[in-house]
Structure 1
Amino acid sequence: MEEKELKNVKLLAAKVRRDVLSMLQHRGYGHVGGSLSLVEAYAVLYGKQLRYDASNPHWDERDRVVLSKGHAGPVMYSTLAECGFFPKEWLNTLNDGGTRLPSHTDRLKTPGVDATTGSLGQGTSEAVGIAQALAVKGSKNYTYLFVGDGELNEGQCWEAFQYLAAKKLSRCIVLIDDNKKQLDGTTDEVMYNFDLAKKMESFGFKTQVVNGQDVEAIDAAIDVAKQNAETANCIVLDTIKGAGVPYFEQAVSNHSMKWNNDEINKATDEAIAKLDEEIERGEA
């Protein structure tokens, strides 16, 4: 990644993280942990790797993005807003009655959302269907599938992965958000995943494991995946739930939180102020 690209991607990540915090604080509750853990991956995609036209969200030649862990909608909404898919003012309508930004992503409501998700596991099959359809059409575009580590408790995910690998749909890149926590506790406590990289390899995927908060590492992994047309591709993102804000990283129950006390609001205000300073420096 060139220096200018790196600067722009890091700046986008700071803006997306700031927006996630701001919109959830405004709403008063929401899925903060798993949204923050994907900030860097979304910044790399929309800041460098993804083919899209914000003025034409249904452009036929676009790459597709499926957020199977649909509850992390805030990270997608923040990214889409920053990239010009819709006005940033929409962010403060999260979960309002009649909003275009529902709790879980909905392709019929939000410009730039390619798949309606939320029932965990089903987004994997949607992404496979999209990838298969693009392959039948002879399209060279990519489909990016984001799936949570806790979500992998769902058997549907593994059926979808088996199909991807069997059909060698190399242009569907699976990105696993391995943030090690889910709704009811750690993934080890709830349903031990064993070694995700080895499991994906055993299914027939070329698998890479990278630091999911390192934009250069994510970018390089996507480049490697794009060069592999022989097998299905998987990138395991080694992430931190609540990444980028110590208060949320350290919170025991950080899957979904409520902004109902002085402590969480103070931590959020401080984090937003720090990010605003970072953004101002980056734009100077």
Structure 2
Amino acid sequence: MEIYELKVKAAQIRMDLLTIIHRAKTGHTGGSLSNTDILTALYYDIMNIDPSHSKWEDRDRFIASKGHSVESLWCVLADRGFFPREELETYSQFGTRLIGHPNNKVPGIEMNTGALGHGLPISVGMALAAKRDGRSYRVFCLMGDGEQAEGSNWEAAMAGAHYKLDNLVGIIDRNQLQISGTTEEVMGLEPLDEKWAAFGWNVVSINGNDMKELLQAFRAAPEVPGQPTLILANTTKGQGVSFAENVPAWHHHVPNDEELALALAELNASIEELIQKGQV
């Protein structure tokens, strides 16, 4: 895909995730909107995957450690063909597979996540297994910034560097907000880049809502052989919906009918503009 096509796809995913959250009357809206560009870059350009063979042994692995922001992931997996798009209509309904956190009963999900701080330790194990088995697959782990307060992340960071796991890419969705306020008010993280570098990771800081920067960073990894990569993706919580951006209440705010209509209209307008510019 061209960059403008990936941007269009990201906007379409945002429309889908807002729709399923509105229908279900539950969801983590702001964080799903902020990480959509990251997922779009990975699933439509970067990762070596085959939706028709979701357990292919040499597939790249993706772990959503910030498992509460699953709505964007469900919409991406459905769009890529891991399961029928119609199943999105069952999100958070009784008996569904598409619950409010990743569920490994669904093709494309490697592990159940939800308790924060667990995704990176598991990713380290997967990357180490690939090294020891002589496999070429890579492991991508998406973490939240509020999640950095969990000590298990730092144990995993130390292990990843110790075992020289250059097939491991950690991504922090650095949107600066969590459920109870800003990350710096709740538990100060800065200087976050220096902390990860001190643990032996090659740190790349980018605009995590800029598709070009995302692709450049993912394609370059690993920049340093023998070092895991940490992509510090500086994002905007609620990205793509102007009245939701940088608003803490949208962490798990469910859009009402009027808000949904306004958001979809705004995203649709951005899609039309992207297509016009891309075709010039």
User: Which bin holds the TM-score, normalised by the shorter protein?
Assistant: over 0.9
Work out the CA distance in 1 between the residues paired with 2:192 and 2:17. 28
**1:277: how far off?**
4.2
Q: 1:69 aligns with which of 57, 66, 71?
A: 66
Q: 1:78 aligns with which of 64, 75, 79?
A: 75
Kept after mapping to 1: 8 A contact 2:15/2:264: no
Structure 2 letter corresponding to 1:103: G
Q: 1:25 aligns with which of 22, 25, 31?
A: 22
The answer as to 2:219 corresponding to 1:205 is no
Q: TM-score, normalised by structure 2?
A: 0.93
Identity %, equivalent residues: 35
**1:11: how far off?**
2.6
Describe how 1:137-216 pairs up with structure 2 within 5 A.
Answer: 137-216=133-212
1:11 maps to 8
Work out the CA distance in 2 between the residues paired with 1:167 and 1:38. 28
1:271 maps to 266
Where do 5+ consecutive residues of structure 2 fail to align?
Answer: none
Q: Which moved more, 1:90-99 or 1:250-259?
A: 250-259
**1:122: how far off?**
0.9
| CA gap 1:24/1:237 in 2 versus in 1, 3 angstroms | same
Where do 5+ consecutive residues of structure 1 fail to align?
Answer: none
Work out the CA distance in 1 between the residues paired with 2:25 and 2:273. 25
Work out the CA distance in 2 between the residues paired with 1:219 and 1:174. 15
**1:283: how far off?**
10
| CA gap 1:87/1:280 in 2 versus in 1, 3 angstroms | farther
1:88 maps to 85
**1:232: how far off?**
1.5
2:38 maps to 41
Work out the CA distance in 2 between the residues paired with 1:43 and 1:237. 14
Q: Which moved more, 1:36-45 or 1:262-271?
A: 262-271
Kept after mapping to 2: 8 A contact 1:25/1:268: no
Cα-to-partner distance string for 1:139-198 (whole Å, 9 max, x where unaligned): 111000000000011111111111001111111100011000011111011001011111
Structure 1 letter corresponding to 2:101: H
Kept after mapping to 2: 8 A contact 1:37/1:213: yes
What is the DSSP-based 3-state SS (H/G/I as helix, E as strand, rest coil) of the residue aligned with 1:29?
coil
Kept after mapping to 1: 8 A contact 2:237/2:247: no
Work out the CA distance in 1 between the residues paired with 2:200 and 2:278. 43
Describe how 1:217-256 pairs up with structure 2 within 5 A.
Answer: 217-256=213-252
Kept after mapping to 2: 8 A contact 1:10/1:215: yes
What is the DSSP-based 3-state SS (H/G/I as helix, E as strand, rest coil) of the residue aligned with 2:245?
helix
**1:275: how far off?**
5.5
Aligned length: 279
CA RMSD of aligned residues (A): 1.9
Kept after mapping to 2: 8 A contact 1:206/1:233: yes
Work out the CA distance in 2 between the residues paired with 1:147 and 1:173. 11
**1:227: how far off?**
4.2
**1:59: how far off?**
0.8
Kept after mapping to 2: 8 A contact 1:171/1:229: no
The answer as to 2:101 corresponding to 1:104 is yes
What is the DSSP-based 3-state SS (H/G/I as helix, E as strand, rest coil) of the residue aligned with 1:20?
helix
